[in-house]
């Protein structure tokens, strides 16, 4: 592991902890060259799931790409970085449970959409506007109407 400051490879581990229900190891390191401390995270490398896009293209699932989209949707909203990470963790656990080699982008988007609706309606509509390619205010109105129906159904109203 190279130091992010000086790029030297010599470092020592100061502390190791399990995190995320044991799915990841967090290591606190110190560079032996410049003395800077930094954190690394290790996770099990699992078989890569292919995401089938709308146009039938296939891409490797990319956690970073999904995190970036969620961070953008949640920008300036009261949604913590930890909450975003947990959403993606739940999605990845679900993907492991399914055991499929390919998964549709629609499945991923719907899963994340449901997670966002429970956390922040504005972040959900931001995500939906890109995911569903909203073209007019009618698309937004229909989304909010459907979200309200789901909320009422969940609360028995």
3-state SS of the chain is: CCCCCCCCCCEEEEEEEEECCCCEEEEEEEECCCCCEEEEEEECCCCCCEEECCCCCEEECCHHHHHHHHHHHCCCCCCCHHHHHHHHHHHHHHHHHHCCCEEEHHHHHHHHHHHHHHHCHHHHHHHHHHHCCCCCHHHHHHHHHHHHHHHHHHHCC
- Quick: pLDDT tens for 91-111: 988 988 888 899 999 999 999
Asked if 72 and 49 touch (Cβ cutoff 8 Å), the reply is no
What is residue 99's predicted lDDT score, i.e. its pLDDT? 86
pTM of the model: 0.66
What is residue 34's predicted lDDT score, i.e. its pLDDT? 95
For the chain, the structural domain boundaries read 11-43, 50-155
What is residue 23's predicted lDDT score, i.e. its pLDDT? 74
Per-residue pLDDT 10s for the chain (157 aa) are 899 999 999 999 999 988 766 778 889 999 999 999 999 988 766 668 999 999 999 999 999 999 999 999 999 999 999 999 999 999 988 988 888 899 999 999 999 999 999 999 999 999 999 999 999 999 999 999 998 898 888 887 6
What is residue 43's predicted lDDT score, i.e. its pLDDT? 76
């Amino acid at each position: 592991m190279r130091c992010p400051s000086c790029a030297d490879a010599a470092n020592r581990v100061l502390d190791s902890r399990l995190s995320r229900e044991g799915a990841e190891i967090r290591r606190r390191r110190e560079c032996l060259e410049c003395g800077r401390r930094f954190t690394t995270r290790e996770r099990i490398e699992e078989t890569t799931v292919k995401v089938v896009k709308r146009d039938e293209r296939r891409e490797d699932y990319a956690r970073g790409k999904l995190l970036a989209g969620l961070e953008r949707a949640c920008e300036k909203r009261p949604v913590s970085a930890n909450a975003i990470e947990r959403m993606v963790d739940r999605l990845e656990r679900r993907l492991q449970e399914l055991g499929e080699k390919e998964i549709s982008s629609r499945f991923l988007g719907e899963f994340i959409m449901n997670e966002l609706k429970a956390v922040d309606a504005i972040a959900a509509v931001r995500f939906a506007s890109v995911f569903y390619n909203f073209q007019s205010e009618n698309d937004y109105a229909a989304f909010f109407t459907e979200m309200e129906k789901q909320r009422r159904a969940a609360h028995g109203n």
